[in-house]
Amino acid sequence: MNYNTLEDKDFINLISTSSDYYVIMFGASWCGPCQIMKPVYDELATSHKYQKLVKFVYLDRDTTRHYNQDYGFEIPTIPRFFLVKFEANGIFSHFNIKISFGGSQSLDSFNQKLDDYFSISNPQKNANTTESPNIDFSEITNTLTNMNTITHKKPTVAIIGSGPSGLTAAIYTARAELETTIYTGLEPGGQLTTTTEIENFPGAWDATTKAGMMGPDLMQLMQKQAEHFGAKSVLTEIRGIEIDDKAETKFTLDIGGKKEKFDAVIIASGASAKYLGIAGEEKFVGKGYHTCATCDGFFYRGKIIAVIGGGDSAMEEANFLTKFAEKVYLIHRREEFRASKIMLERARENPKIEFVLNKAPIDFMGDEEVTGLVLKDSITSQTSELNLDGVFVAIGHIPNTGFVKGQLSMDETGYLIPQAKRPPEERTSHYGTMSEIPGIFIAGDVEDKTYRQAITAAGGGCKAAMDTEKWLADQE
């Protein structure tokens, strides 16, 4: 191996003694995707053009769980990679973390991310230098010492979310010369980063190969485009929004230990995958029970698996999983489908997919790992068992709106309600994307449970950005 495996004591030592850049991979022996990524990571450690500048190490997630609390490593899933800068001063906090990303990565995408960081932070430096880049840490140190509130020059816009809606909004607000900060959340790029090929995003299509772009590539491109026009990306979750109508800068975002002020906020926080809500679910996550076919399908080569759901996601995942699995059961609780005709037909025509209709999962089989599902017939109420090696759930999403609960009105399923979706007599503004709080705008899947497409989310982001720009101009 060309990277070192660190223990807790080694990491503590580095904090006090090292002033180098390190790429850290957090993984675990039980994590399949981590095992896939280790050879790629090894190759990166050997071949990367910054290898004189950056060291590559591995940390075991299981023995370093306290690193989130102690050092600010937010690790929702593994494998997860961080570029960090030690300062040999005994202090390590999340301000030392320069880049963070998760999931499966190609060598190219790894290289690109490091490239982007070093060329943006330090464009004058030669990639092969042995010196550390000359980055000014004074702002970081001040912030660390004072945990103070940073106030930007006006007008400033915070965009919460980095899916197609958030990034489109950022492209528009940044081009309109609003100082734009994108709070990416912990999974930058949003839901499209867990899909494979996107065939229906206009323009993101190769006329020669007749293939659509891959989801993660499309999102990376959108982020670069937003950053090109001046938007700044910050990898963190927003905990809440404080509103002070009398203050010169009305909105204060809670970023966990730190606060930032903005003149306007666009909420584009999207939606997350839904779980079945049946007994044993938590225990089996990652042990035969999955929400992301792209991430975990690889482990089911030659196996028998099931996909739950009757929407486009279920059809897409079932089709994708036939690349690996011997057989895929498509289990749906009724006979009608929400899936579009074309996606449904594709699944029906796939000889490896067998439809199991009018059946809902009510229990998992297995002790340590999933060995099957107990199904209940929606018509007869009879139960039956189906032996399986793995289960993928694709039953829709819940909007990420917890951080504004009680502050902004939501429908019964938690989706936000912009002005345009309110009855005319309840509207308080002519800005269609504005919430009931002037200055907070809403875009994308967080308010749209009907269309939920990348292109509609992007359109929503554009509208919210244009409304924000006009509203800010009205305030002057």
User: For residues 396 and 438, which CB has a smaller minimum distance to ligand NAP in the complex?
Assistant: 396
Distances (CA, A) of 20 to 71, 92, 365, 415: 17, 13, 49, 45
The DSSP result for 302-369, as a single string, is: T-EEEEE-SSHHHHHHHHHHTTT-SEEEEEESSSS--S-HHHHHHHHH-TTEEEEESEEEEEEE-SSS
Indicate which single residue of 395, 408, 440, 465 sits in contact with ligand NAP (rule: CB under 6 A).
395
Told to check if 405 binds ligand NAP by CB under 6 A, we report no
Min. distance of Cβ 310 from ligand NAP in angstroms?
Answer: 3
Told to check if 309 binds ligand NAP by CB under 6 A, we report yes
> Tokens 């993660």 map to which residue?
216
Told to check if 399 binds ligand NAP by CB under 6 A, we report no
Contact assessment for residue 75 and residue 237, using Cβ atoms and an 8 Å cutoff: no
User: For residues 179 and 312, which CB has a smaller minimum distance to ligand NAP in the complex?
Assistant: 312
User: For residues 181 and 322, which CB has a smaller minimum distance to ligand NAP in the complex?
Assistant: 322
Q: Is 115 left (phi over 0), alpha (psi -120 to 50) or beta?
A: alpha
Distance CA 182, CA 237 (A): 11
Q: Show the binding pattern over residues 188-207: x = contacts ligand NAP (CB under 6 A), - = does not.
A: ------------x-------
Told to check if 85 binds ligand NAP by CB under 6 A, we report no
Min. distance of Cβ 361 from ligand NAP in angstroms?
Answer: 7
Min. distance of Cβ 320 from ligand NAP in angstroms?
Answer: 10
> Tokens 């959108």 map to which residue?
222
C-alpha torsion sign, points 317, 319, 325, 327: positive
CB neighbourhood size of 370 (10 A): 23
Min. distance of Cβ 286 from ligand NAP in angstroms?
Answer: 20
Query: Would you please indicate which residues are annotated as catalytic (active-site) residues?
Result: 292, 295-296
User: For residues 395 and 434, which CB has a smaller minimum distance to ligand NAP in the complex?
Assistant: 395
User: For residues 241 and 343, which CB has a smaller minimum distance to ligand NAP in the complex?
Assistant: 343
Q: Is 117 left (phi over 0), alpha (psi -120 to 50) or beta?
A: alpha
Told to check if 458 binds ligand NAP by CB under 6 A, we report no
Min. distance of Cβ 451 from ligand NAP in angstroms?
Answer: 6
Distances (CA, A) of 185 to 182, 270, 321: 9, 10, 28
Told to check if 311 binds ligand NAP by CB under 6 A, we report yes
CB neighbourhood size of 382 (10 A): 9
Told to check if 338 binds ligand NAP by CB under 6 A, we report yes
Residues at the contact surface with ligand NAP, assessed by CB under 6 A: 200, 276, 308-314, 316, 332-334, 338, 340, 360, 394-397, 451-453
